[in-house]
Amino acid sequence: MNYKDYYKILGVSKDATAKDIKKAYRKLAAKHHPDKNPDDKAAEEKFKEINEANEVLSDKEKREKYDTLGSNWEAYQNTGDDWRDYANQAKQRQSGGNSYSYQGDPSGFYGQGAQGGEDFSSFFETFFGAGGRGARGQQAAYSGGDTQAEMPITLLEAYEGSKRTFEIHNEKLRITIKKGAYDGQQLKIKGKGQKGVQGGNRGDLYIILKVQQDPRFQRRGDDLIYNASVDLYTAILGGKTDIPTLTGMVKVTVPKGSETGKILRLKGKGMPKYSKPTSHGDLLVKLNVNLPKKLIKEEQELFEKLQGLRDPQTVDTN
């Protein structure tokens, strides 16, 4: 019977943390899950092997026993003592201590009813016994893998909130998108991932929101940015201009002497705050002054007159 290197199966080091083991297991289980590989016997066997490795390495006591006996586990077949005592005696022999021999029933090592099972290998059954297969005792239950799916939404949907109906794993689901939702946000739907095996729990479904760009606005947190073009005369003399928001058009006052790059802040006209949807960010209106590219003769003459009036030696610029 060949020794199984559970660390190698999961692709982790022997000093891997419980978090490392869980992460590696989920990744491999999702890759080789029977739902993703129908009628693939090799993938099915690999999936069982991955779950067997996780059964041992995710259980503190099983992992301690596995690490202590290691590849020398077969030497224990001639003993029946508790495996910790056996391990201690082995250390004494290595350090020149008294020799130790035990003749008796080895069931203390094999466990109760150690026979091969359909789900775990004969190595596992011999090492831990059939009783080591978790609470079910007879067959191990494998949890299903988590599923991720992207859902595109418009900026307006993120602003107003929305309800979506979609189908995944041949099941129709309905999800509520709250006001202020943001790009990359994950929504968890518990128990709607891949199905488990042998009665195991279903995994979870994670919906990743992808907020599509709106050609009018840029989003920065809860604030929106809008680039507004204003003509030269409005910028110099001041005036009104129409600005779009996600709830309609509003008139905004442009102050006299406004320059390109000047920002007008419209309080509360941005996105709802996700944690407090009754509060909103701001709409930042960034002005871009359009200069006339071609002047008619009368305009040219008027600008020349204005230029004369703006003699820096006679005009107070304060």
Contact 71, 1 (CB under 8 A): no
Mean pLDDT of 96-124: 36
Contact 227, 215 (CB under 8 A): no
* pTM of full prediction above 0.75: no
CA 315 to chain centre: 62
Pinpoint the residues of the chain covered by CATH 2.60.260.20: 147-211, 217-290
CATH classification (class only), 147-211? mainly beta
Give how far Cα 37 sits from Cα of 25, 32, 44, 271, Å: 17, 7, 8, 43
Q: Which region among 70-74, 192-196, 229-233, 310-314 has the lowest average model confidence (pLDDT)?
A: 70-74
Q: Give the confidence band of 235 by pLDDT, cuts at 50, 70, 90.
A: very high
Mean pLDDT of 151-176: 92
Distance (Å, whole) CA 228 – CA 233: 15
At what angle are helices 60-69 and 83-94 packed, to 10 degrees?
Answer: 30
Distance (Å, whole) CA 224 – CA 222: 7
Place of tokens 């020398």: 72
Task: Kindly tell me the burial class for residue 34, based on how many C-beta atoms sit within 10 Å of its own C-beta (0-12, 13-18, 19 or more).
Answer: middle
What's residue 30's pLDDT? 85
Q: How far apart are the first and last CA of the chain?
A: 94
For domain 217-290, the CATH architecture is Sandwich (2.60)
What's residue 155's pLDDT? 97
Contact 308, 279 (CB under 8 A): no
Pick the CATH number of 1-73 from 1.10.357.10, 2.60.40.420, 3.40.50.300, 1.10.287.110: 1.10.287.110
Distance (Å, whole) CA 70 – CA 83: 12
Pairing, β 171-177 against β 162-168: antiparallel
